[in-house]
Amino acid sequence: MRWNLRLAAANRGIWQASDLQRLLAEHGLVISAGKMSHLWSGRPASIKLADLDVICVVLGCGVGELLIPEPDTVTRPDSAVDEAVTAAEKPRPRVIPRRRDGRSMPPG
């Protein structure tokens, strides 16, 4: 995933992190200068969903504008793909529900 906050903000005329920080605070999301700097210029390792909601409201955008998928960056060994296909083709065993006390379930 590519973090796209800076471009999303620029598309709305917000050019400085401090301006966005002030708008977020007006909507109840108080962010420290250090965290704001990381959100603005970095690639956050994690972000709370509630914080993401506030950012989307302030910018008037959807999550899809802030988080851009980059599927080409995911590497997958060839053997893993083959194993996944083989596993999908195998018939699954029938699941029989059991009670926790060990007794069988009534016929259904």
What pTM was estimated for this model as a whole?
Answer: 0.67
Has residue 86 got a pLDDT over 70? no
Mean pLDDT of 22-38: 94
Name which residue leads in pLDDT, 98 or 55.
55
CA distance 99 to 105: 6
Whether 5 contacts 65, CB under 8 Å: no
Which pLDDT value is given to residue 75? 85
Banded model confidence at residue 93, pLDDT cuts 50, 70, 90 = confident
Which pLDDT value is given to residue 43? 82
